Chains A and B, each alone.
Chain A
Amino acid sequence: MTAAARAGLILAFPALSVIALFFFVPVIIALALSLTDFDIYALADIHNLRFTGLRNYVELLKTPLFWSALGNTLYFTSVGVPLSIGASLGTALLLHSRLARFRGFFRTALFAPVVTTLVAVAVIWRYLLHTRYGLINYGLAHLGIAPIDWLGNPHFAMPSIIMFTVWKNFGYNMVIFLAALQSIPEELYEASGLDGAGWWLQFRHITLPMLGPTLLLVSILTIAGFFQLFAEPYVMTQGGPAQSTVSVLYFMYEQGFKWWNLGTASAVAFVLFLMMFTVTALQMGVARRLAIP
């Protein structure tokens, strides 16, 4: 072995062993756990553990709350992701406009919520959404809209969380879109003969196709992120009202660390993984069909 190869092994070893020990081993244990009835009794004495095969998965499919958690998470993702990406793209286009001034300031201002602490800003929003004293209802009152019980009404709780999440996250993809917009060569607009063609035609035939790969990447990462909804309902609604904001991860947390059903919770974790994997694979498939590199 050369000196360089030996050095490489020595330098990579600490990180690799940490990842193996604290990530790969747990993932394998999780798969095993999901096939057992690991609960509070097994936690006290491991001899109480029994292998149960796929029973946790079968039981999950018969649990109504799991199905609502799944439905709530899909609702959150399918409404939240398009809104979030739309807001990111819209603000990126505004910032990219030749007419925009103070770009640096606006970019920083719109990005600021991304770096804030999720729990802390969720607490702020809980007060802003307050039915009687919240500034959001106060603002709506000026438009003649009667007070809305944002977090107390099962029809409005999830939309409130979506609104909050879009506010918190749109800056991230905005910055990525902005970089992609800046990398589109100016000549493309001139050479295409579309430079006098009006904004929409240019956007439709040059900007959007050129953003294709970025859009694909952004949507894959954003959907994966939205599937992991947890802290928002934990802080803002505690899963309520009427369990309308229980997400898959919230359900897993309660199963695992409130009721200590670690077997069931591991099965939930794998279902979540499978969901994310399937959706990503589908998106890649669609992208290949559309010939996006």
Chain B
Amino acid sequence: MNSEYLTELYSNTKGSSYQCDATNRIIIRFGDITVSLRITDFLTFKRRVDSVDIHTMIFNTDDAYDVEIIDAPRTDQLFVLNLCDLILLRDLLAGTRFALDLNTLLHERIYNAVVY
């Protein structure tokens, strides 16, 4: 990855995210895992992570609810997440999404604005 094309979007204690303008991909680094996702796949991945029922994970004592396994679309990576991981990954993806939306807003209001 050429860092010249990378822009950091968001980071927290467990990971960070970048946009690569050379490949038009979003790169997610979370713990030991790094995935590079197309924007559609990033949004699908975010939806998957957001759809996990955290409430059930907290209150159900069954072992099956201790971890959640989520695959990142079109990659070979599996995210095996305990409750804390899940909350941090959600935060990372939400922050990333916010940075992307903010960039859209800047393009809309500033970069694309006609200057006479």
Q: Do A and B make up one complex?
A: no
What residues make up the interface of B, taking CB atoms closer than 8 Å to A? none
Which residues of A are at the interface with B, using a C-beta cutoff of 8 A?
Answer: none
